[in-house]
Structure 1
Amino acid sequence: MQKAAIQLETLTCPSCLLKIENATKNLQGVQKESVQVLFNSSKVKLNFDEETIALEKIEQAITTLGYIVKKSQARAM
């Protein structure tokens, strides 16, 4: 299991938060209860199984929604 922190460009509305949260929670390999979208810091924090999904795929799901990923990092839990 890995713990990821994904920095996004500034989020402008609370509905952005819900879109990102729903998209990441629905990904196979992402621990649903760990997903946190922090509106004020424009960050997404979550835990994922690196054998099921790559961090790049999680980023791709976010960018597909139209949000820009500035940087991300993952570390073992």
Structure 2
Amino acid sequence: MKKAVFQLDTLTCPSCIKRIETALSKTEGVTSVKVLFNLSKVKTEFNEGQISASGIEETLKKLGYPVLSQKVS
């Protein structure tokens, strides 16, 4: 399992949390998602055999949330 933290542009409403968490939790290979609203960060854990950090970033972009940076561990 890999972990990644994505720094997003400022999140403007609490409904963003549900939208991001719902979409990513349905994404194959993503095992956990936590949105840190006040920090505009998304913490994920994923199976790198099924999806990459770049794949998660693409999903976030498609949802309308530009990724400013990512940290994978």
TM range (shorter): over 0.9
Does 2:45 correspond to 1:66?
no
For structure 1, the 5+ residue unaligned runs are none
Kindly provide the amino acid, as one letter, of the partner of residue 28 in structure 1: E
Following TM superposition, the consecutive aligned residue runs of length 4 or more in structure 1 with deviations greater than 3 angstroms are: none
What's the TM-score once normalised by structure 2's chain length? 0.95
CA distance in structure 1 between the partners assigned to 2:64 and 2:51 by the alignment: 21
Root-mean-square deviation (Å): 0.7
Aligned with 2:52 (options 51, 54, 73): 54
What's the TM-score once normalised by structure 1's chain length? 0.91
Identity across aligned pairs (percent)?
49
For structure 2, the 5+ residue unaligned runs are none
The equivalent residue for 1:16 is 16
Q: Which structure's residues are more often strand, by fraction?
A: 2
